[in-house]
């Protein structure tokens, strides 16, 4: 039988990347082995697995801005955040991570990252293990 838990992440910038690996690991049952899905329950944030090196985190934000400009989108007529929706769509809302003995089985340089595209906000992240 699987487990399910949630936690919140607060951000303080419009576009920022937060390493949530330790928070995810803290939600895993000690005897878990299999997979877990990490999912952000929002349409303007994403989840990714990558290196949490500060310069790379800055590069992630830069490339998102270059791929998806801030203005000029039809949805902006509604609430001015179309770029955030489009950026998060490129990232995806979740990742599946292998788990061994209650720990994420990540590579040496891999971390689980929440990428905020429309902050500052408080985001809900779910961790579901099978």
pLDDT at 130 over 90: no
pLDDT at 2: 83
Which residue ranges form the domains of the chain, and what is each CATH number? 3-129 (2.60.120.460)
User: Are 47 and 40 contacting, i.e. CB atoms less than 8 angstroms apart?
Assistant: yes
Q: What is the pTM of this model?
A: 0.95
Q: Which residues are bridge partners to 21 per DSSP?
A: none
Number of H helices, E strands in the chain: 4, 8
pLDDT single digits (tens) 37-94: 999 999 999 999 999 999 999 999 999 999 999 999 999 999 999 999 999 999 999 9
The SS3 of residue 67 is helix
Tokens of 79: 């609430």
pLDDT at 1: 58
What is the average pLDDT across 112-127? 98
pLDDT at 120: 98
pLDDT at 26: 97
């Amino acid at each position: 039988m699987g487990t399910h838990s949630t936690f919140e992440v607060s951000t303080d910038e419009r576009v920022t990347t937060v390493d949530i690996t330790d928070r995810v690991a803290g939600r895993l049952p000690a005897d878990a082995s299999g997979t877990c899905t990490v999912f952000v329950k929002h349409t303007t944030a994403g989840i990714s697995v990558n290196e949490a090196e500060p310069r790379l985190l800055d590069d992630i934000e830069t490339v998102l801005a270059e791929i998806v400009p801030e203005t000029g989108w039809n949805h902006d007529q509604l609430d001015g955040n179309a770029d955030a929706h489009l950026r998060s769509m490129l990232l995806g809302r979740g990742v599946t991570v292998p788990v061994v003995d209650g720990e994420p089985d990540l590579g040496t340089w891999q971390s689980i990252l929440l990428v905020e595209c429309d902050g500052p906000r408080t985001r809900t992240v779910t961790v579901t293990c099978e």
